[in-house]
């Protein structure tokens, strides 16, 4: 997630759910009075990327104006599996908080989680020490 994309998302939030690229550009101009305002071309390229990554939604009106809004958070959780290092045994992780955490970390880097495998080792519950 680049600085420009972070600023762009703030601009989308500031404009509201029916933001156009021009509205976002004007809002960024007001937000960044002292700094560099990105060009309309840079804004459009990054809006396209955020739509492709399912971070933003783009709606097109009958007069062919594109409106942007933040995509609703997905309710489905990615497939997360714990893989035991010594045996290769696979244990499904059905804790929604783990999926939410992984999704947020991935979004910070402009990515989306489809599935995750986490390698684990057995721990002795009495001592808290791994089994190796």
**Structure-block tokens of residue 108:** 């910070």
Q: Are 58 and 66 in contact (CB under 8 A)?
A: yes
Mutual angle of helices 40-52 and 21-31, in 10-degree steps: 120
Specify the pLDDT at position 5.
87
CA 11/CA 24 separation, integer angstroms: 5
Specify the pLDDT at position 47.
94
Specify the pLDDT at position 110.
80
Q: Dump strand ranges (E) for 28-65.
A: 56-60
The model carries a pTM of 0.56
Report, in angstroms and rounded to the nearest whole number, the Rg of the chain calculated over CA atoms: 21
pLDDT tens digit at each of 132 positions of the chain: 788 888 898 889 999 888 999 999 999 988 887 778 888 999 999 999 999 988 899 999 899 999 999 888 765 667 889 899 889 899 988 888 888 888 888 888 888 787 888 898 988 776 666 655
Specify the pLDDT at position 66.
93
Q: Are 111 and 49 in contact (CB under 8 A)?
A: no
């Amino acid at each position: 997630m680049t600085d420009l994309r972070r600023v762009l998302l703030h601009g989308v939030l500031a404009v509201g759910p029916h933001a156009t690229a021009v509205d976002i550009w004007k809002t960024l101009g007001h937000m960044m009075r002292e700094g560099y305002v990105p060009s309309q071309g840079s804004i459009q390229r990054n809006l396209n990327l955020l739509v492709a990554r399912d971070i933003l939604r783009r709606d097109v009106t009958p007069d062919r104006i594109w409106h942007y809004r933040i995509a609703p958070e997905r309710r489905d959780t990615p497939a997360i599996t714990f893989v035991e290092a010594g045996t290769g045994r696979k244990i499904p992780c059905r804790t929604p908080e783990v999926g939410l955490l992984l999704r947020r970390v991935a979004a910070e880097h402009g990515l989306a989680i489809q599935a995750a495998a986490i390698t684990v080792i057995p721990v002795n519950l009495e001592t808290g020490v791994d089994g190796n």
